[in-house]
Structure 1
């Protein structure tokens, strides 16, 4: 079988590469000729552990290739995956589907024989209906089915998530399309991965419902963390105590500075807008969004308070900028609000992130000073702030940190360290939801 993967962003590149690992012929398509040239040289446009090695191996095996020629890739494909971006639309929070619909138009013009067209991008309910309408209007003669197949990839562990997923969701009412999709995922059938077949609209909603539920868990535990600080409880013990209940589960109960990234912020907004369009408002999710926005903006205030109420004229060291470790993704990262808030309060911010500084320079204030390593952020700083829990920050030499800082003060927004140990080492230590 042959696949054309339209889009070489995070979803398209990882999905296309992993399908080729299944033994399927995959052509990844992108309009950006420079990106395609770099991919042919095995230069990745994103940071994802292990991706470059997997791409190289499958290119070497002649199962994976890259092109700007959408027409030829689609004409030869049994299945065409749409994996283009669906960012939040400015002004109203709706998902911007212009790239999806533009891809549908180009695909329609290139179809040659029966083809399954799969929306891999995260799209609102009924998007598949519109994709089908667009293609049918341009090519009434074409034989095709439109299928929903949402991705569930976590940045930093996306390859494992694709090759060994919790489940695969496929939305189609066509038996012919169902057979094609079963063949594409045959490798996962053999290892008894749950394959959930639904209607197309149900499949589209599953993706949004899943992400908004996880975002809800994050905002919930963050508010519980605030309560723990007021009453003298430990949020980690609370999270463990409720997470051991099988009905709740322990994942996504980690307190911090709020969620960010490419999925949760835009998907929660898009689902709220979809619900309003269908006159079925989701007040819980609306509050989740509001809680998260307030939380990210309030983190700079925590740092200022730890520094005695003012950071004007003071240096602050910030470790970690990406929204999570093992990615270079800065989209909606809490660090954006935190750094802007500190600079707005008069601080000088020196920062280091193992992978995210290139992207950070596009988003953070120009006054930010970028350093070559974690220790270079510290000399004379009034406070060290841990924003992203990269593993190398867990193993930092705390004695050296203490000698470099102007004051032995750490604001740990990811609870990397234990309060008792830090106090024993002589640090003034502030964490989330612990006393």
Structure 2
């Protein structure tokens, strides 16, 4: 494809998007301001863990379609579209998305551009951001025909490449014929695969991203509340989830009870959506409840483990398997493992933790007394209790006989419902799941 684009920001969204666009045949320049990260990328090392991304980056770099230029000016040269994919963390104090990095990047691009281009927000930005960028473009560069578009990402960590290549839909907020034409040409390979491309106005595209994440977070929170109810009434949340999920109007995805959602998107985006709705004078009571219930749930997990251990964990050795907020990622942002381990350590437990990918990221976030195991067997050796937090496949395969041989105690707290309760009870374990009587 004879097309050149630039992506400002070589983080999760920017790097995955850049590698996938390059796979389409587009010439992609990913501009990463962090010198250390750029050096890693130039050496073929990936600063994040995402299955398949290392291969995709290596192949497209070798083919000359993907580059990591030293300067922004070099990166945006001749680019038809410039994507803004920098971080939008929660702003300290009020819950809004912090747009400092977005507008700094946009201003840099505007001052450096020497040709007409479309500036596209890929970062998750509050409603109205695209309009402000258009005003800034008109103010700083009235000499250039600069269009603005919004193209929110819907990538799931751990399956981001598949999500990009075979999306449920592509949402594009664009209000000029030229912006629509550029984005339609860019996404043509997906259109040929019959992926729907939804064209909207700027505000609609920006709100769609928040609404989608808010709704999914609400599904998770709903099934978690149903899990608590199942425990009181003697029902099984897995059966309930299957019973309602087979209804086509509801769907089976995101109906897995657990310790609460974490990660880079749901906590940040639900909080931002709550603030956006408040300021617009149309408060979202559902999203407010989702935020409150999820925060309380994550804080309550340590208490569940203490109760399973008979009311005290003082001096007990507790193996925690899984630190990342979900499997197939090393992302520790808002991970449920953090308040859980902090609570157990504060209650006097000796916590031994293991995760296949997130150990390095977890170390600076956890109390000094936490022991980081070298593997699953090391974590389980001599443990009085096992707490499964993240459902990595290697944890799913743990056999009761192996647990019996390695562990000293007999308490298993399964916060993801991946183990067979009867098999563990038959092996002499006191099994505690989520939403299971």
TM-score (norm: length of structure 2): 0.98
Residue 354 of structure 1 corresponds to: 356
CA contact (8 A) 1:233 1:434 kept: yes
The residue correspondences of 1:299-338 to structure 2 (distance < 5 A) are 299-338=301-340
Select which of 269, 278, 281 maps to 1:267.
269
Residue 132 of structure 2 corresponds to: 130
Residue 144 of structure 2 corresponds to: 142
Per-residue CA deviations over 1:15-52 (Å, capped at 9, x if unaligned) read: 00000000000000011112111101110010000000
Residue 343 of structure 1 corresponds to: 345
Gaps of 5+ in 2: none
Select which of 94, 98, 102 maps to 1:100.
102
Residue 181 of structure 1 corresponds to: 183
Aligned equivalents of 1:268, 1:75: Cα separation in 2: 37
Per-residue CA deviations over 1:294-315 (Å, capped at 9, x if unaligned) read: 1000010010001110001111
Residue 78 of structure 1 corresponds to: 80
Question: Which stretch of the first structure deviates more once superposed, 359-368 or 303-312?
Answer: 359-368
How many positions carry a matched residue from both structures?
Answer: 435
Gaps of 5+ in 1: none
Question: Displacement of 1:380 after TM fit?
Answer: 2.3
Aligned equivalents of 1:31, 1:388: Cα separation in 2: 32
Aligned equivalents of 2:400, 2:355: Cα separation in 1: 18
Per-residue CA deviations over 1:132-191 (Å, capped at 9, x if unaligned) read: 222222111121101000000000000000011110000011011100101100101111
The residue correspondences of 1:31-430 to structure 2 (distance < 5 A) are 31-430=33-432
Per-residue CA deviations over 1:348-382 (Å, capped at 9, x if unaligned) read: 10010000000001211121100110111122221
Aligned equivalents of 1:145, 1:240: Cα separation in 2: 46
Aligned equivalents of 2:434, 2:374: Cα separation in 1: 28
Per-residue CA deviations over 1:332-354 (Å, capped at 9, x if unaligned) read: 00000100000011111001000
Per-residue CA deviations over 1:220-276 (Å, capped at 9, x if unaligned) read: 000000000000001011001111111111100000000000000000000011111
Aligned equivalents of 2:10, 2:295: Cα separation in 1: 30
Aligned equivalents of 2:203, 2:383: Cα separation in 1: 53
Aligned equivalents of 2:135, 2:74: Cα separation in 1: 23
2:7 counterpart SS class: strand
TM-score (norm: length of structure 1): 0.99
1:365 counterpart SS class: coil
Aligned equivalents of 2:347, 2:115: Cα separation in 1: 62
1:272 counterpart SS class: helix
**Aligned-residue CA RMSD (Å):** 0.8
CA contact (8 A) 1:118 1:146 kept: yes
Question: Displacement of 1:397 after TM fit?
Answer: 3.5
CA contact (8 A) 1:101 1:134 kept: no
1:331 counterpart SS class: coil
Question: Displacement of 1:404 after TM fit?
Answer: 2.0
Question: Which stretch of the first structure deviates more once superposed, 150-159 or 36-45?
Answer: 36-45
Residue 17 of structure 1 corresponds to: 19
Question: Displacement of 1:403 after TM fit?
Answer: 2.1
User: Which 4+ stretches in 1 moved above 2 angstroms?
Assistant: none
Aligned equivalents of 1:22, 1:196: Cα separation in 2: 20
Per-residue CA deviations over 1:56-99 (Å, capped at 9, x if unaligned) read: 10011110000231012113211000000001011110000000
Aligned equivalents of 1:112, 1:24: Cα separation in 2: 21
1:210 counterpart SS class: helix
CA contact (8 A) 1:330 1:356 kept: yes
